[in-house]
């Protein structure tokens, strides 16, 4: 396969970015998208050119580092798939592929396709944890959890924090991410102690970071590689309202 790539290049956060036309040769249809970029970078280096900077780590759809907008869609055309798990058979030989970084005020550019997503880390630090006693593990049956609650909590906990929801939202809202992180702890008994301080702290930090508001157009759910439901946003809103009423 051969592809015509339009890749966003930007030296740093203070420089003006631009699209660079790059010819991708020797592309195998069974390659992942990131493997294709590796091949492109090898060819650029051989020509004495600067390779394209992009984030990656696990390459197994787990870590959420592969933050690319491909042909206008975060993570590309395959639903429920992270960029690192997207295969080149999803594209046509000789076609054009536009590759951009996440674009949001709260995700400032670092270089090329890399953006700073530490805002998510600060939101987690604001409340995405539970307090536990150290020492020997307690008996599991001391805190019985229903199967329904356990499965729902696991659905929310599957969020990998990639930021696709932010990239897809016209307001760059982080509501789906925060809702998933709030909900998976709020559903379980272990999260009950800090429930009120957690949701207030995380929502306030989200607003402080400059993320926009949710307008319920469901773009976030559509591009989420883990297909997390927007129902969790409603759950977070209920938790926040309860916390605010109790605080007053």
Asked if 167 contacts 104 with a C-beta cutoff of 8 angstroms, the reply is: yes
* pLDDT band, very low/low/confident/very high, at 44 (cuts 50, 70, 90): very high
Asked if 74 contacts 168 with a C-beta cutoff of 8 angstroms, the reply is: yes
CATH of 118-247, one of 1.10.460.10, 1.10.1060.10, 3.40.50.300, 1.20.1740.10: 1.10.1060.10
The full DSSP string for 199-236 is HHHHHHHHHHHT-B---S--HHHHH-TT---THHHHHH
Q: Evaluate if residue 248 carries a pLDDT over 70.
A: no
Per-residue pLDDT reduced to its tens digit, 123-157: 999 998 888 777 777 777 778 899 999 999 999 99
Q: Evaluate if residue 214 carries a pLDDT over 70.
A: yes
pTM over 0.75? The answer is yes
Q: Evaluate if residue 88 carries a pLDDT over 60.
A: yes
Asked if 179 contacts 236 with a C-beta cutoff of 8 angstroms, the reply is: yes
pLDDT at 141: 76
Architecture per CATH, domain 3-111, reads as Roll (3.10)
The helix (run of H) or strand (run of E) holding residue 18 is: strand 18-24
**Mean pLDDT throughout 107-131?**
95
- CB half-sphere exposure, 106, CA atoms < 13 A: 26
pLDDT at 136: 79
Cα distances (angstroms) measured from residue 224 to each of 5, 123, 145, 229, 237: 24, 19, 27, 9, 20
Which one has a higher pLDDT value, 79 or 132? 79
**Mean pLDDT throughout 210-220?**
94
Residue spans per domain, the chain = 3-111, 118-247
Per-residue pLDDT reduced to its tens digit, 187-203: 999 898 899 999 999 99
* pLDDT band, very low/low/confident/very high, at 247 (cuts 50, 70, 90): low
Tokens at 4, concatenated: 């015509």
Per-residue pLDDT reduced to its tens digit, 12-33: 999 999 999 999 998 999 999 9
Q: Evaluate if residue 217 carries a pLDDT over 70.
A: yes
Strand 96-100 with 3-9, pairing: parallel
The helix (run of H) or strand (run of E) holding residue 39 is: helix 33-46
Asked if 173 contacts 213 with a C-beta cutoff of 8 angstroms, the reply is: yes
pLDDT at 138: 73
Q: What is the mean pLDDT of the chain?
A: 94
Other residues' Cβ atoms within 10 Å of the Cβ of residue 18: 9
């Amino acid at each position: 396969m051969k592809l015509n790539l339009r890749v966003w290049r930007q030296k740093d956060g203070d420089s003006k970015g631009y699209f660079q036309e790059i010819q991708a040769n020797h592309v195998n249809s069974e390659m992942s998208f990131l493997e294709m970029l590796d091949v492109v970078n090898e060819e650029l280096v051989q020509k004495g050119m600067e390779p394209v900077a992009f984030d990656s780590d696990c390459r197994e759809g787990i870590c959420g580092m592969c933050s690319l907008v491909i042909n206008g869609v975060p993570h590309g055309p395959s639903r429920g798939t992270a960029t690192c798990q997207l295969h080149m058979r999803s594209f046509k030989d000789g076609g054009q592929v536009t590759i951009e970084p996440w674009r949001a005020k709260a995700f400032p550019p670092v270089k090329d396709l890399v953006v700073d997503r530490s805002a998510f880390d600060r939101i987690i630090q604001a409340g995405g944890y539970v307090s536990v006693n150290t020492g020997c593990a307690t008996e599991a049956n001391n805190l019985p959890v229903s199967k329904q609650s356990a499965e729902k909590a696991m659905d929310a906990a599957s969020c990998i924090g990639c930021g696709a929801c932010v990239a897809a939202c016209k307001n760059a809202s982080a509501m789906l991410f925060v809702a998933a992180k709030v909900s998976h702890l709020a559903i379980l008994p272990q999260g009950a102690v800090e429930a009120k301080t957690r949701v207030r702290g995380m929502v306030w930090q989200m607003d402080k970071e400059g993320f926009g508001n949710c307008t319920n157009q469901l773009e976030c759910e559509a591009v989420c590689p883990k297909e997390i439901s927007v129902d969790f946003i409603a759950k977070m809103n209920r938790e926040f309202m309860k916390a605010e009423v109790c605080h007053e």
